[in-house]
Amino acid sequence: MTEFAAPASATGIEWATLNGALLIIEVAEIVKDITTSFGVTDAVRATVTPVDGPSAGASYQDTLIFPRMLKSQLAPNVGKTVLGRLAQGVAKPSQSPPWLLQEATPADQQTAAAYLAAQAAGRLTADDI
C-alpha cells in the first residue's frame, strides 16, 4: 500500500510564544495584495525556525509574516537567510507594541551555526539546541 503524508496544519505563528527566541528565517518572497479581515496588505513568505526557547526545533514552513516591522526587516532579504532574536518594540499610543528582530549577537551566531550543523548531520537533539 502507498504511504501518504498527512496535510500540514494550517496554523499561523503565535509570535508571543516565540518572544525572545533566536530565529532562523529563510525569506522566500514578498506576496502582494492579500485580503485579510483587516483589509488588503502585503506579507513576507518564509520558513521560520526557532533555535532556542520553548519552540526550539519547530519549523513553520512556507508561512506568511504580516507584522509590519518584521516585514520591513525581512523584505530586503528575499532569497537570503536572516538570523535574529524576536522582541517587541515600544508601543505607540493606543497600539500594540510592534514585533521586530534584534540583531544576533556573536553567541547567537555560534548557537545557530551549531544548530544548523547538527541538523545537517541528522543528529539534532535537545543537547544541540
14-64: per-residue pLDDT in tens?
A: 999 999 999 999 999 999 999 988 899 999 999 999 999 999 989 999 999
- Give pLDDT, residue 55: 92
Q: Which pLDDT score is estimated for 119?
A: 86
pLDDT band at residue 3, thresholds of 50, 70 and 90? confident
The secondary structure of residue 6, as a DSSP letter, is P
The CA dihedral of 12, 16, 22, 23, to the nearest 10 degrees, is 20
The predicted-structure confidence for 74-116, as pLDDT tens digits, reads as follows 999 999 999 999 999 999 999 899 999 999 999 999 999 999 9
Distances 69 to 5, 51, 98, 117 between C-alpha atoms, Å: 35, 21, 6, 30
Residue 128 has pLDDT above 80, yes or no: no
